[in-house]
Amino acid sequence: MSEKTSNRLSVISDTKMKKIILVFLFFFFPKILFGINVENSPLFHYINANFYLNGGKLEKAIEEYEKAIRFDRKSILLNQELMSLYYFTGNFEGAKKVAKKILLIDNKNVEAYKYLAEISYEEKNWVDALKHYRDILNLISEDASIHLLIAEIFVKLNRPDNAIKEYRKAIELEPKNIGARFLIAAVYESQKKYKDAIRVCDEINKIWPKNIKIYNEIGRLWFLEGNISKATGFFEKTLKVNPDNIRALYHLSLIYEKEKKWDKAISYLKKINSLQPDLIETYLHLGLNYFQKDDFSSAIEVFKKALKIKKDDSNIWHFLGLAHQEEKKYEEAIDSYKNAIKYDPENIDAYFYLGICYDQMKRYEESYGLFKKTIKLDPNYSDARNYLGYSWTDRGINLNEALFQIKKAIEIEPENGAYIDSLGWVYYKLGEYNKAKKELQRAIQYTKDPIIYEHLGDTYSKLGRIKDAIKTYKKALILDRENEKLKEKIEELKAK
């Protein structure tokens, strides 16, 4: 039960308890003294119920209210007290039953409708909750809080236009209600109507001028809208008021990442880091920005600092491994990936990249085992299937199994040029040169890569199409000018 709901019922106040004691002393005590049976009085059981309630014995209190109602079935007070206790103890069916009984006695009882509405809300019966809140509005003067609850239900029913109308009704009753306006903006944002959300935030800005929170919110919405210039302007407004506002600094770093201005993004991230050195997210972004600059040594330094804060973070170990791998420091990369797996045994990417490290070190059996492990954890991990198949193909082993794995990868990503190249290459290794030519020509349609051109050149050479082979090798050489192997192949074919 929510805190808001539990607050509905509180322990009896001292004043009320004193009144109950006085009633007992002056009304019941003389009758008990002279042997008169008072247990048939609803007031007697009401007093008992309140004593139990004050002592926290809710079940006993319920029993006493039930007894009291037997002697006065039409008492609104007794039924309301019982209804609230049923509700508080989680007996929603009991509370609903009593609420409906109250409405038979008094069909304008707002309290009964409130309990029916809140029970329906708790049970996620949005249609009934909506009906009961409407019933309340029909009985009382306009109430902004009820309109807000109705709007919330419309949001849950995925009826955004109705929700906005209800929020607006709440605002009509409370013109300076900022919360309702934020909720309208959130509804517009959920529909990706960012300009409408910004318009609502402008209303808030007029009520709440020069406020950092609204500057940041408008900036974030302009960022989502794709207007980087306006987004930047609002975040810079925030920084004029508070140069150390982390939210503004963070969004500006994202903006400069989007614009591929890595140095500017790094400068903002470094400032966040200095203000809040334990924010892991900042280290990750900072390290990845260094990745974009091919500054892997700086990325390594950042990730190592992050691990001092959170040693058991699998993602940080994984990124550290990637940075070491880019520097061809395979032993360090292997150690990092093993730690990533240690702290998250289901980190599938770590298994895959650990396999690549072993493959680069020619520790093939270990790498193949890891690729198979990756595929077992995620049968749709197409990169693992392709890498395994291609590695076997390149070594000229397990060619039929390689063909199977590569075809599976292509089923998952039919337009991946690298995978189609692998398929062409395995056909080449199997001696099926016409099939190889067809697939390699198709691969080039998706990916202009020197390796694919070289494979196609090799295939033309096997088919005896020497001129086509030379022409294709030259295309590969344009993309990879320092490739001495390609130059040798061209000279050999020219000699023929």
pLDDT at 4 over 70: no
Does 113 or 43 have the greater pLDDT score? 113
Quote the DSSP letter at residue 24. Answer: I
Q: Which CATH class is domain 1-107?
A: mainly alpha
Does 28 or 482 have the greater pLDDT score? 482
Predicted local distance difference test score (pLDDT) of residue 465: 94
pLDDT tens profile 107-130? 999 999 999 999 999 999 999 999
Please compute the mean of the pLDDT values over residues 348-361 and round it to a whole number: 96
pLDDT at 2 over 80: no
Q: CA-CA-CA-CA torsion for 308, 310, 315, 320, nearest 10 degrees? A: 0
Predicted local distance difference test score (pLDDT) of residue 480: 87
Share of the chain above pLDDT 70, in %: 92
Please compute the mean of the pLDDT values over residues 475-491 and round it to a whole number: 89
Predicted local distance difference test score (pLDDT) of residue 55: 83
Per-residue confidence at 7, pLDDT binned at 50, 70, 90? very low
Cα 326-327-332 angle, rounded to 5 deg: 95
Predicted local distance difference test score (pLDDT) of residue 296: 96
Least confidently predicted of 9-18, 131-140, 310-319, 338-347 = 9-18
pLDDT tens profile 142-196? 899 999 999 999 999 999 999 999 999 999 999 999 999 999 999 999 999 999 9
Please compute the mean of the pLDDT values over residues 341-346 and round it to a whole number: 96
pLDDT tens profile 204-247? 999 998 899 999 999 999 999 999 999 999 999 999 999 999 99
Share of the chain above pLDDT 90, in %: 78
CB atoms within 10 A of CB 198: 24
CA distance 47 to 32: 15
Least confidently predicted of 131-135, 284-288, 409-413, 483-487 = 483-487
Cα 35-41-43 angle, rounded to 5 deg: 115
What does pTM read for this prediction?
Answer: 0.71
pLDDT at 366 over 60: yes
Q: Which two tokens stand for residue 330?
A: 């395979």
Predicted local distance difference test score (pLDDT) of residue 38: 47
SS percent in the chain: helix, strand, coil, step 5: 80, 0, 20
Predicted local distance difference test score (pLDDT) of residue 243: 96
* Residue boundaries of the structural domains of the chain: 1-107
Q: Which two tokens stand for residue 471?
A: 């022409």
Predicted local distance difference test score (pLDDT) of residue 64: 85
pLDDT at 34 over 90: no
pLDDT at 6 over 50: no
Please compute the mean of the pLDDT values over residues 32-56 and round it to a whole number: 68
Predicted local distance difference test score (pLDDT) of residue 85: 92
Please answer whether residues 445 and 456 qualify as being in contact, where contact means their C-beta atoms are separated by less than 8 angstroms: no
Per-residue confidence at 5, pLDDT binned at 50, 70, 90? very low
pLDDT at 23 over 70: no
Please compute the mean of the pLDDT values over residues 354-377 and round it to a whole number: 96
Mean pLDDT, all residues of the chain: 90
Least confidently predicted of 39-48, 285-294, 471-480 = 39-48
Q: Measured over all CA atoms, what is the biggest interatomic distance in the chain, rounded to whole angstroms?
A: 132
Cα 377-383-384 angle, rounded to 5 deg: 45
